[in-house]
Chains A and B, each alone.
Chain A
């Protein structure tokens, strides 16, 4: 039995060392060793041990994303002035109560935006590589471009579904009965540190895109 105990300890110690070597290769900043064993560490951490410890680093989010929506029955009409800021609803509900599902659902705003612009790819190694090699025929660059495209499609899909859910859940009957919606994503920069005392400083718009009219989807409501 003594031998079994020792064998167990030895096996677990070896597992410990191998496990955390792979975890460090995957989670820590890219270096020559992690680059060499990237395939192995990525496969190992693809399910239960998947992890990302960037936690607002190296560059924290410094933008305010707003999702605006419009609804209509006739897409040929000019409805440019009637934009509804859906984000306000999430912020207000999150700030008003401590115990609320909005504490989680508010994260959809930034998450869907990141998908829509394809900026949610977190593999440091590939990002580094692509920044140095931007030739069109490079397979890694092609892979990232493909990934971005798929992410943007996914993001746009989620954006419209979330907006449809918002319309069905919170807008008056007049709007619910309408057929089409379109979305505008606007991103405002935060005030730079050097301009913090400038009362007249106007926040710049970093991103502004109006998407096409689409039919309002049948989607679960939010409460």
Chain B
């Protein structure tokens, strides 16, 4: 019975959201490093640059000293990093990305930092984890594929252990570095940040202010706080409630380091690994709370802006007639309804004849193009004009408004609109909407 519980504990899918988030952030940081150092790559990483690189035996860059070979490997590394970030061929791209980035990392010499060090170790363990379950190109394929239960158990065990290895590594980072801080005289006397803030190659101009005036004493407090937060981390992450507090503290601590010491990627890496500390249930719980808060804010805003909306927003009300037998239209309407923060648009299915009884609208025209009716002046518009009116009322789509006006002005707006509208599918095979079922895909005009 105990053995079953142990197997259940280690094979339960827990951290797949965290590993997926970490994959994306690591991928972006790796891409950033590749791109930002692109112009300096020969100076920093080749024997034509400022240093000489012996044969380490573990870097792809050691195979040849040719600059062309270096450039090929570097550019392939970028492509691999893009695939890794997008989650294409999860395990394979994870392995390749590790090989390519590690090959470059061991040539970092003087330009590397603790963040790079932690990321390389974490990337190695992530090879054994499932990092593409969420937010990836593979997620849909993955969800459809059903693994054999036993194989699933083994991969879940490997996944969970790889996460445990990374979490343990992060704890070691904080515990060990805090212990070294305690051993140092400037850290124990609270003056370490005062001295670091004077080092021009390590400090931003903002940070230099810690060495002047009364801010000196803030520096003393922050010096001690940095040690305290690191030690507290190891003890507080094991409790659900204290975990959120300490992770927030650690994030603020690293944001501070990022801004003051200009260690941007270091800070981002240290913050990113915190993503592994939360289980899938906790992420879903955050998401639900966030949604509930969003609804509450929306309700609050609606209540307090009721008078305003009655006076002003009524003039902007719009009725949109959509095709209730078109899958694309149904999905679009559903998405647009979520974005219609002020409730300005009413969507009406023109297939339901009762909806258009009182309007002077022609069913054939409605089938060809989406129509809209302005409540204020009963003005009817269609095609790209309707779509423009929609985007004007939906804030997240404002960026499309000038593009749509331009397309209309160029005379291509309705051409493109008609091209898409004519090719829309009406009620997909084996799907029924409003009790209407078709046996084959039907195109407009069929």
Contact = CB atoms under 8 A, between A and B. Distances in A.
Interface of A: 1-2, 4-6, 8-9, 12, 16, 19-20, 23-24, 27-29, 47-65, 87, 90-91, 94-95, 98-101, 103-112, 115, 154, 157-158, 161-162, 165, 190-191, 193, 196, 218-223
A220 B46 CA distance: 9
Contacts of A16: 161, 164-165, 168
B347 interface: no
Nearest to A193: B191
Contacts of A28: 172, 176, 179
A107 B111 contact: yes
A58 B117 CA distance: 19
B110 A55 contact: no
Interface stretch (B47-55, B243-251, B352-360): B47-55
Interface string B405-441: 0000000000000000000000000000000000000
A29 B201 contact: no
Nearest to A61: B199
B78 to A, nearest CB: 15
Contact of B180 (A53, A62, A223): A53
A28 B210 CA distance: 30
B198 to A, nearest CB: 4
Interface stretch (B36-44, B133-141, B322-330): B36-44
Contacts of A101: 36-37, 39-40
B68 interface: no
Contacts of B110: 107-108, 110-112, 115
Contact of B199 (A62, A105, A218): A62
Contact of A162 (B39, B50, B121, B164): B50
Contact of A223 (B40, B150, B173, B199): B40
A187 B134 CA distance: 51
B183 A29 contact: yes
B42 A51 contact: no
A51 B36 CA distance: 24
A158 B52 CA distance: 8
A105 B37 CA distance: 9
A165 B49 contact: yes
B90 to A, nearest CB: 20
B204 interface: yes
A5 to B, nearest CB: 5
Interface residues of B, number: 70
A6 B6 contact: yes
Contact of B157 (A9, A58, A111): A9
Interface string B75-111: 0000000000000000000000000001000000111
Contacts of B225: none
Contact of A64 (B172, B191, B198): B198
Nearest to B36: A101
B253 interface: no
A191 B211 contact: yes
A52 B117 contact: yes
A220 B43 contact: yes
A60 B184 contact: yes
Contacts of B173: 53
B199 A190 contact: yes
Interface in B151-208: 153-154, 157-158, 161, 164-165, 168-169, 172-173, 176-177, 179-181, 183-187, 191-192, 194-196, 198-202, 204-205
Interface in B258-286: 262, 264
22 contacts: A4-B154, A16-B164, A23-B169, A24-B172, A28-B176, A29-B179, A54-B177, A57-B187, A58-B180, A61-B196, A62-B199, A64-B199, A94-B201, A103-B264, A104-B44, A104-B111, A111-B110, A115-B110, A157-B52, A161-B50, A218-B48, A221-B43
A155 to B, nearest CB: 10
A100 B216 CA distance: 29
Contact of A91 (B168, B191, B192, B200): B200
B49 A219 contact: yes
Given A47-B58, A63-B199, A5 B153 contact: yes
A48 B150 CA distance: 31
- Give 8 closest A-B pairs by Cβ, nearest first: A111-B110, A58-B184, A220-B42, A57-B180, A62-B195, A190-B198, A58-B183, A223-B39
B120 interface: yes
A198 to B, nearest CB: 13
Given A16-B164, A219-B43, A109 B180 contact: no
B49 A161 contact: yes
Contacts of A157: 51-52
A65 B202 CA distance: 11
Contact of B176 (A47, A53, A65, A106): A53
A5 B42 CA distance: 48
Contacts of A60: 184, 186-187, 192, 195-196
B202 A61 contact: yes
Contacts of B42: 220
Contact of B198 (A55, A158, A191, A222): A191
A52 B118 CA distance: 10
Given A24-B172, A59-B186, A51 B117 contact: yes
A112 B262 CA distance: 20
Contacts of A191: 198, 211
B180 A29 contact: yes
B403 interface: no
B339 interface: no
Highest count of chain A CB atoms <10 Å: which of B121, B176, B179: B176
Nearest to B116: A104
B63 interface: no
A49 B191 CA distance: 32
